[in-house]
Copies of this chain bind each other. A is one copy, B any other.
Amino acid sequence: MRKISGSTVRRLSLYLRFLEQFDALGKTTISSAELARRGATTSAQVRKDLSFFGSFGKRGLGYSVPELTARLRDILGLKRTYRVVLVGAGRIGGALVQYPGFRQRGFHVAAIYDRDPRKVGSRWNGLVVRDVRHIVGDLKKEPTDIAIVVTPADAAQDVTDQLVQGGVKAILNFAPIRLAVPADVVVKSVNMALELETLSFALANR
């Protein structure tokens, strides 16, 4: 398969959301123009995005909503559920644990870790916070693909090393540092200040 850009993957996720909304409204077919309008992009872009993954739809008839939905779920790796562990029982961690969108998409936060003895043992959204030193042992017993790192910057690399040692293959990183990982591990970083800088850039360059 060709290399797919992050922005293409992001649009595929959005198309899937729109398709689910169309399905809920009882629509069975959808044109690239309709998908484009919802996604604030062009029909050509929609067709190009979908063409990466083979041939969809019929000229003049549009795409079958259930077929394209199933195909996008497949492409995005959403035909299964994922066990997710979260490290860092702070405010953002607390917000993420309760985030309804994760479970709806099949991402189940199954364990939470922290290094603060005052937090270890406390209950969080039905889970008991465990000590970070159990990470590797726990992961060996319960294989886990995805971890969310929400620790302070100074703890994030050490935690990441343990997650990788435990077999985690994908990390969503909220700590404000670049994590070093082996080539077979994927890291996606989220930085709220960076998001605001996208806006300040837009305001400064109008």
Q: Which A residues form the contact surface with B (CB < 8 A)?
A: 1, 4, 6-7, 9-10, 12-14, 17, 38, 40, 74-78, 82, 84, 90-92, 94-96, 98-99, 101-102, 104-105, 107, 145-146, 169-172, 176, 178, 184, 186, 188, 190-206
A204 to B72, CA, bound (A): 12
- Determine whether the beta carbon of A188 is less than 8 Å from that of B199: yes
The complex is assembled from copies of this chain, and their number is: 2
Partner of A172, one of B178, B199, B201: B199
A195 to B202, CA, bound (A): 22
A195-B188 contact given A91-B94, A94-B95, A200-B82, CB 8 Å threshold: yes
- Determine whether the beta carbon of B75 is less than 8 Å from that of A201: yes
What are 5 A-B residue pairs whose CB atoms fall within 8 Å in the complex?
Answer: A101-B191, A146-B203, A186-B199, A186-B203, A190-B190
A202-B92 contact given A78-B197, A105-B193, CB 8 Å threshold: no
Contact partners of A186 in chain B: CB under 8 A:
199, 202-203
Give A176's nearest chain B residue, CB to CB.
B101
A104-B146 contact given A198-B188, A201-B75, A202-B170, CB 8 Å threshold: no
**What 7 pairs across the A-B complex have the smallest Cβ distances?**
A77-B204, A77-B200, A101-B193, A170-B199, A91-B95, A186-B202, A92-B95
Contact partners of A102 in chain B: CB under 8 A:
192-193, 196
Give A145's nearest chain B residue, CB to CB.
B203
Q: In the complex, what's the smallest C-beta–C-beta distance from A94 to chain B, in angstroms? A: 6
Contact partners of A95 in chain B: CB under 8 A:
90-92, 94-95
Q: In the complex, what's the smallest C-beta–C-beta distance from A194 to chain B, in angstroms? A: 5
Contact partners of A13 in chain B: CB under 8 A:
191, 193-194, 197-198
A91 to B98, CA, bound (A): 9
Give A150's nearest chain B residue, CB to CB.
B95
